[in-house]
Chain A
Amino acid sequence: MPAISLAPPARFLLRGSVLVAAFLTLWWLAPINPLQSLLLTAAETGGALLFSGRSKLTITEAANGDWSFDVPIEPVVPPTPTGPPSPTGAVPQQIYSIGFDVARSDAGGFTFGLPVFWALILAAPDFRRNWRSLPIGTLAMAVLEVALLLITAKILAYKSLAQILQSHDPVGGWFLRYGEYLAVNVIPYLLPFAVAITLHRGVRERIFQWAAPLAASDRQAPREYRAAKRGNQKRIAAKRS
């Protein structure tokens, strides 16, 4: 049976699709997701460094898979007519943290990037020459996903605060909604592709084909320059003689 030779893009698509499906199935079936546990621990550690205040960032996973956040922000909440009556009268209240839940389907977006990244790197051409992109990219993905989770926690905390304060600021509200959309629905999906294309030279040069001729011409330039110079010197010597 003759071997079927596929063009590099078709091979990348087929291998990538199979590996993405296989890795995501493994990620989905894992009873205790080690990526999730690592991410939550790293986020709480990073949160302790980034968020200052009396309370600290805590993220816990409920039995149904939803994530419960407790984010330290310390606004002063003015009294509202709908608030509980206070014996001391209507006075502003200092709060120290805001808690909210994130649905499992949204929370999963912060851990599924790593299996997708591994699938893309393994599916890419010339893995042997570009194997370093796997460990470096894994580290980069881990750092970026923790940062993304912390940013999302902050956005969602301010969104909850705006609801508590019954804010009617249209510009601020738009930015919070847009930030949440990017952090939950866009960046987690694009991140593994961006990191893979950035780190894997073979994929980058093949997809953006202008990089290869430019890099080649850069390498050849000093040699061509020396050759041209030699040619000039020969012509000058011939004229003199």
Chain B
Amino acid sequence: MEGVILRAPGGFGVEMRDGCNGINVTVLLWAAILAFPAPWKLKAYGLAIGTLAIQLLNVARFISLFYLGQYSATWFELAHEYLWETLLILDTVVVFWLWVGRVSRSGALRHAGD
């Protein structure tokens, strides 16, 4: 590790820049949870667990890109630009879905007009 760069002995390295840290989808999840009609305690729970889930997946993404980049620049581009970006959004949607299910099971689900 060199600061925010993970570098292989062969010279290939991946750098964790702004935008690579999953903050964009984290902000999306926070906006969805905060806008949803649910008690604040459950919102805080959703923000904490959801952020953790996204960051864990983002670490997996970072490590997989590190190894993929050493294997093939072409496949690295596909995974970096399109595949992992889409999977992170899919993960965020599912985290939100699970959280809404938790809110619903707790009996605290309020309708938008309530």
Taking beta carbons and an 8 Å cutoff, which residues of A are in contact with B?
A: 9-10, 12-13, 16-17, 20-21, 24-25, 28, 105, 108-109, 112, 116, 120, 185-186, 189-190, 192-193, 197, 206-210, 213-214
Q: Is the CB of A116 within 8 A of B78?
A: no
Q: Is the CB of A207 within 8 A of B83?
A: no
A206: chain B residues within 8 A (beta carbon): 97
What 1/0 flags go to B31-64 for Cβ under 8 Å of A?
Answer: 0000001000000000000000000000000000
Q: Is the CB of A209 within 8 A of B100?
A: yes
Q: Smallest distance from the beta carbon of A176 to chain B beta carbons, Å?
A: 19
Compute how far the CA of A9 lies from the CA of B96 in the bound complex, rounded to whole angstroms.
10
Count the B residues whose beta carbon is within 8 Å of the partner chain — how many? 26
Q: Known interface pairs A207-B100, A209-B104. Does A20 touch B109 (Cβ–Cβ under 8 Å)?
A: no
Taking beta carbons and an 8 Å cutoff, which residues of B are in contact with A?
A: 19, 24, 37, 77-78, 81-83, 85-87, 89-91, 93-94, 96-98, 100-101, 104, 109-112
Q: Is the CB of A20 within 8 A of B86?
A: yes
B85: chain A residues within 8 A (beta carbon): 189
Q: Is the CB of A9 within 8 A of B97?
A: yes
B90: chain A residues within 8 A (beta carbon): 13, 16-17, 20, 120, 193
A108: chain B residues within 8 A (beta carbon): 81-82
Chain B residue with Cβ nearest A190: B89
Q: Is the CB of B78 within 8 A of A24?
A: yes
Q: Known interface pairs A20-B83, A25-B78, A105-B77. Does A12 touch B94 (Cβ–Cβ under 8 Å)?
A: yes
A10, A185, A209, A210 pick with most chain B CB within 10 angstroms: A210
B100: chain A residues within 8 A (beta carbon): 207-209
Q: Is the CB of B86 within 8 A of A189?
A: yes
Sample (21) of A-B pairs whose CB atoms are under 8 Å apart: A9-B101, A10-B94, A12-B94, A13-B91, A17-B90, A20-B83, A21-B87, A24-B86, A109-B81, A109-B82, A189-B86, A190-B89, A206-B97, A207-B93, A207-B96, A208-B100, A209-B101, A209-B109, A210-B110, A210-B112, A213-B111
Given A9-B101, A209-B101; 10 other pairs, CB 8 A cutoff: A10-B94, A12-B97, A17-B90, A24-B82, A24-B83, A105-B81, A109-B82, A193-B93, A197-B93, A207-B97
Q: Known interface pairs A24-B78, A105-B77, A209-B104. Does A116 touch B86 (Cβ–Cβ under 8 Å)?
A: yes
Compute how far the CA of A120 lies from the CA of B90 in the bound complex, rounded to whole angstroms.
9
Q: Is the CB of B87 within 8 A of A28?
A: no
A28: chain B residues within 8 A (beta carbon): 78, 82
Compute how far the CA of A210 lies from the CA of B108 in the bound complex, rounded to whole angstroms.
11
Compute how far the CA of A208 lies from the CA of B104 in the bound complex, rounded to whole angstroms.
10
B98: chain A residues within 8 A (beta carbon): 9
B37: chain A residues within 8 A (beta carbon): 210
B93: chain A residues within 8 A (beta carbon): 193, 197, 207
A189, A192, A213 pick with most chain B CB within 10 angstroms: A189
Compute how far the CA of A208 lies from the CA of B32 in the bound complex, rounded to whole angstroms.
10
